[in-house]
A and B are shown apart, each in its own frame.
Chain A
């Protein structure tokens, strides 16, 4: 229950590190701002954070003030890291590690890999797609086809992500994979319905999370980050739509009568 006293610079360093980890794992902007100001307030320092999805700016109103700027390049969704950081910031008023230990701990959290590996994520994507196809009233053929399609699309996306293209191209190529595999499945079995397979396989890539986070940012009063998150969601949605539409369009133009 012993609480270490940090100096002003140390507190702000720790707060910026926590904010970076939260923003990188896809937390809402108001949560990042709230965490940073909470961590500084429990040590008696008042700061004004300004956070958008790509940058954290810290400062305050004093004349001998400071300014910290840090940029976040690549973001993903990692709920377990958000949960750990949240627990830490709630326990910050009785934090008993020294400054160096805290920094090392945060650095470890920044570097540590996600709790589920690449192949577990691909399998989960397949299972989620299959369950969605069943929820929309598909039969057993749709279930299996959606499993293959969703898993395959995620494998393609993960393999491409190693080359670091832009997010737009990753999603567009995943969309091409969804369209192509779904068409192949329909060609193989007569009982498959194109619609259910594609909707099921689409669900892991639909940007519901950024969209919902953006609207929650609006509600909390962060208009700028709400705008940019919704723009991001629209970009992802249109890229996946372009990928699928490309394949379906090619199929229409060539006029293959695969599933009727």
Chain B
């Protein structure tokens, strides 16, 4: 039941953020599902299995990045359209706020450690996104180079024909 509530609210939040980032209209619902996948994986690893925050964020990001690569192939859209709204539920807003609140109350020890945790979390998210996207970029670049060689050969043929 807890998971269903988490899924619902995470998809609601992600859809709202997709509208905030002006995503294409037919994509908004898919964005919601992708963001909810990431959040549910995070909640499960963090609260049920008790992994550290870094590992949970990393795994959640990898799962949502894989889902968005898959849907970018299906819906013929760039990956950015799915990834940017999808990572929003994982962004450590609570950590940033708590750290800042501790620092303005002159509690520098707590504040710095909370802010540092938030920073490692965001680095985990970024590494997860980059890992998956660079993996898929290799495939894409190879396909483009094949296409480029073919078009170059055609151009050379055309130039020869003109002479």
**Considering the complex, which residues of chain A in the window 246-260 have a beta carbon less than 8 Å from any beta carbon of chain B?**
248-249, 252
Minimum distance in angstroms from B105 CB to a CB of chain A: 8
Interface size class of A (residues with CB under 8 A): 35 or more
Q: B127 — which chain A residues lie within 8 A by C-beta?
A: 215
B109 interface contact, C-beta 8 A: no
Asked if B13 and A132 make an inter-chain contact with CB atoms under 8 angstroms apart, the answer reads yes
Q: B85 — which chain A residues lie within 8 A by C-beta?
A: 79
How far, in angstroms, from A155 to B147 measured CA to CA in the complex?
Answer: 48
Asked if A211 and B151 make an inter-chain contact with CB atoms under 8 angstroms apart, the answer reads no
Asked if B129 and A116 make an inter-chain contact with CB atoms under 8 angstroms apart, the answer reads no
A245 interface contact, C-beta 8 A: yes
Q: B18 — which chain A residues lie within 8 A by C-beta?
A: 79
Asked if B129 and A216 make an inter-chain contact with CB atoms under 8 angstroms apart, the answer reads yes
A165 interface contact, C-beta 8 A: no
Minimum distance in angstroms from B6 CB to a CB of chain A: 7
How far, in angstroms, from A116 to B20 measured CA to CA in the complex?
Answer: 8
**Considering the complex, which residues of chain B in the window 107-122 have a beta carbon less than 8 Å from any beta carbon of chain A?**
122
B44 interface contact, C-beta 8 A: no
Question: What are 10 A-B pairs with beta-carbon distances under 8 A?
Answer: A28-B80, A31-B80, A38-B144, A41-B151, A77-B22, A125-B20, A128-B13, A131-B16, A132-B89, A215-B123
How far, in angstroms, from A51 to B91 measured CA to CA in the complex?
Answer: 27
Q: A80 — which chain B residues lie within 8 A by C-beta?
A: 22-25, 81
Interface of A is mostly: helix
Q: B10 — which chain A residues lie within 8 A by C-beta?
A: 131, 135
By a beta-carbon cutoff of 8 Å, the part of chain A in contact with chain B is: 27-28, 31, 38, 41-42, 44, 77-83, 86-87, 93, 114-116, 120-121, 124-125, 127-128, 131-132, 134-136, 195, 198-199, 202-204, 206, 208-209, 211-212, 215-216, 219-220, 237, 241, 244-245, 248-249, 252
How far, in angstroms, from A215 to B122 measured CA to CA in the complex?
Answer: 10
Known: A132-B93, A211-B122. A31 touches B21 (CB 8 A): no
Minimum distance in angstroms from A144 CB to a CB of chain B: 14
3 smallest beta-carbon distances between A and B, as pairs: A128-B16, A131-B13, A215-B126
Q: Which chain A residue has the least Cβ–Cβ distance from B43?
A: A135
Contact partner of A79 (CB less than 8 A), chosen from B23, B100, B123, B152, is B23
Asked if A79 and B84 make an inter-chain contact with CB atoms under 8 angstroms apart, the answer reads yes
Asked if B96 and A216 make an inter-chain contact with CB atoms under 8 angstroms apart, the answer reads no
Minimum distance in angstroms from B13 CB to a CB of chain A: 4
Q: A195 — which chain B residues lie within 8 A by C-beta?
A: 94, 97-98, 101
Asked if B84 and A135 make an inter-chain contact with CB atoms under 8 angstroms apart, the answer reads no
Q: Which chain B residue has the least Cβ–Cβ distance from A120?
A: B19
Asked if A204 and B78 make an inter-chain contact with CB atoms under 8 angstroms apart, the answer reads no
Q: Mark B72-98, 1 if CB is under 8 A from A, else 0.
A: 000011101101110111010110111
